[in-house]
Amino acid sequence: MKINISGLSEGGHQYDLSGSAAELGLDSNYSGDVLANITLEKSIHQIVATVEASVKGVFICDRCAGEFTEVVRTKFTSVYTWEQTEETAEDDDFHVLRKDENVIDFSSPVKEYLMLAVPLKLLCKSNCVIPEHIEAKNDTVDPRWEKLQMLKQSEKN
């Protein structure tokens, strides 16, 4: 996922890039291509890259343990500059380019941001319910019910 920036004119530029999930070093549950729509906004001192990327993955539902396919999407902005000033520290979203560096490789930021976009709780559908045979195994009483049961019992006494 590389863009050649040598001779890039000032202003906005659009790119549609793709690369295989394996090529980007994503886990094997991601298949097919990672698609990235990248806009570069070049000014005298810097290039601002706005990246929208997506990849299809196969996940295991946290609730029913079933497999499901979902498209993971992310959007982020990175700034590339040629000037290193005292305040500018290199971080994930801010990069200092060497004078002779004329290719920006988006592979690793795209990969990192896609990984961050994977929800912590993976559900095949938002209203997925635990199948009864699994539910029966973790038969814990909701504390609110416990209180109610105690109340009922005290009524009897």
Residues in contact with Zn ion by the rule CB under 5 A: 61, 63-64, 66, 124, 128
In whole angstroms, the minimum distance from the beta carbon of 104 to Zn ion comes to 39
Closest separation in Å from C-beta 62 to Zn ion: 8
Sign, CA torsion 49/52/58/64: positive
| CB nearer Zn ion, residue 8 or residue 123 | 123
Nearer to Zn ion, 13 or 56 (CB): 56
Please identify, using beta-carbon distances, which residue of 12 and 66 lies nearer to Zn ion. 66
What is the distance between the alpha carbons of residues 56 and 152, in angstroms, rounded to a whole number? 51
Give the DSSP letter string of 117-129.
HS-SS--SSTT--
Q: Shortest CA distance to 80 belongs to which of 17, 1, 3? A: 3
- Least Å distance between CB 114 and Zn ion? 22
